Amino acid sequence: MEIYRHPLYYEIAFGFIDAKKQVDSFERIIEKFSKIKVKRFLDIACGPSLQLREIAKRGYEAVGLDLSTEMLAYLRQKAKKEKVKIETVKADMCRFKLAKAADFAFIMMGSLDVESNERFLSHLDSVAGSLKKGGLYFIQNKIVNWTSEEAQTWTMEREGINVKTTFRTHWKDLLNQTYIEKCTMEVNDHGQMIKLESEEELKFIFPQEFKTLIQLNGKFEFLGWWKGNCDTWHLNQPICKENLSNENMVLLRRK
């Protein structure tokens, strides 16, 4: 995907998150739900992972997994500059096995993208094989409201680089529940204009189907679905039909 070959532009575009608040939230969630002590975090589809950089600063072990060589090289370079230790693993999120299992795994920014239910089940198998029993898997923000198509545009600026991002989804095949996700970044890098575009066909997993697939996989307990914003999740606000929100997170626990 073209946009993932430019980690700096990606980091600028998605730099609106507050990693400190997110990691504070992780720590609260761990205290409430984890059955094990957490020393080792795994970020799946980590990208430039502002989160792992914060996690490593707090003294935890940090592992980032991604398919993009450029993203992982950028993350290693940032870790070196910030004098923190981050391990990187280049692998497909649906087919991996860590040499040393993690105590907490997370995936952010709706990155759990799969093309089929088989890939989703294989993803769950991979996470289960690399997460200790009693450990949590935190999944952020895949849309649950399939009745509306999404389009968002925002602009971010850092170090004289301006990035306008447009993100769109639209249905492709209703019978097979597939949709097209398109992301465009229009970059002005000190006067040099660059346009990056990525498009993918993905399978929408309906909320009840998602829960059924977790049951079918059998390796996780489904702890719940909660509302949030991009940095904080409200454990006192479970998602229900009156409270449907695309800003959400799901929590699973390894059996």
User: Which of 26, 41, 63, 66 is the binder for ligand SAM (CB under 6 A)?
Assistant: 66
| C-alpha to C-alpha distance for 75 and 52, rounded to whole angstroms | 9
Stretch that binds ligand SAM, among 62-70, 166-174, 217-225, 235-243 (CB under 6 A): 62-70
Query: Which residue from 3, 12, 30 is spatially nearest to 253, judged by alpha carbons?
Result: 30
Provide the minimum distance between the beta carbon of 46 and ligand SAM in the complex, in angstroms, as a whole number. Answer: 5
Query: Is residue 67 a contact partner of residue 92, using CB atoms and an 8 Å limit?
Result: yes
CA 161 to chain centre: 24
- Residue 67 or residue 213: which is nearer to ligand SAM going by CB? 67
| C-alpha to C-alpha distance for 63 and 45, rounded to whole angstroms | 11
Residue 228 contacts ligand SAM per CB under 6 A: no
User: Which of 46, 105, 136, 163 is the binder for ligand SAM (CB under 6 A)?
Assistant: 46
Query: Is residue 48 a contact partner of residue 74, using CB atoms and an 8 Å limit?
Result: yes
Query: Is residue 65 a contact partner of residue 46, using CB atoms and an 8 Å limit?
Result: yes
Provide the minimum distance between the beta carbon of 242 and ligand SAM in the complex, in angstroms, as a whole number. Answer: 29
Contact string (CB under 6 A) for ligand SAM, positions 142-171, x = contact: ------------------------------
DSSP state at residue 177: T
For ligand SAM, the binding residues (CB under 6 A) are 4, 14, 45-47, 49, 66-68, 71, 92-93, 108-109, 111
